[in-house]
Amino acid sequence: MHQRAVSRRLNDVFFAVHASLAGAGLLWQIVIYEKGGQTLSTSCKHVMAALAVGLAIAMAFSLWPAVPWEPLDFFYLLGYIKARMISERAGSSTHL
């Protein structure tokens, strides 16, 4: 399936682990610290829930032998989501 897949280096793996730990730390701080009455919008909650469910399904597909997905496909999906989020953030900052 990935005839021309780019080989992964050790620093790529460490970067992914580092980013995951940093994200988990940020989420933990969001949960434990006082928010001063601020809340997430309903649409934001729905988008985050849809992403979480979609990622869980994609991970299950990549680990289930009956589905012709490889674990590398899951990481490609994560990369596409990251690129989309970065482009959205960059686009929104130009409209300030």
- What does the pLDDT read at residue 96? 45
- pTM summary value: 0.52
Structure tokens at 21: 């730990």
Please state the domain extents for the chain: 10-93
- pLDDT tens digits, one per residue of 2-59: 555 556 667 777 777 787 788 888 888 877 887 788 877 888 788 888 888 888 888 8
Residues 6+ positions from 40 with CB-CB distance below 8 Å? 48
Angle, CA 9 vertex, CA 80 and CA 83 arms, to 5°: 15
**Cα–Cα distance for residue pair 14/27, rounded to 1 Å:** 20
Position 22 scores a pLDDT of 86
The number of residues making up the chain comes to: 96
What count of other Cβ atoms lies within 10 Å of the Cβ of residue 76?
Answer: 15
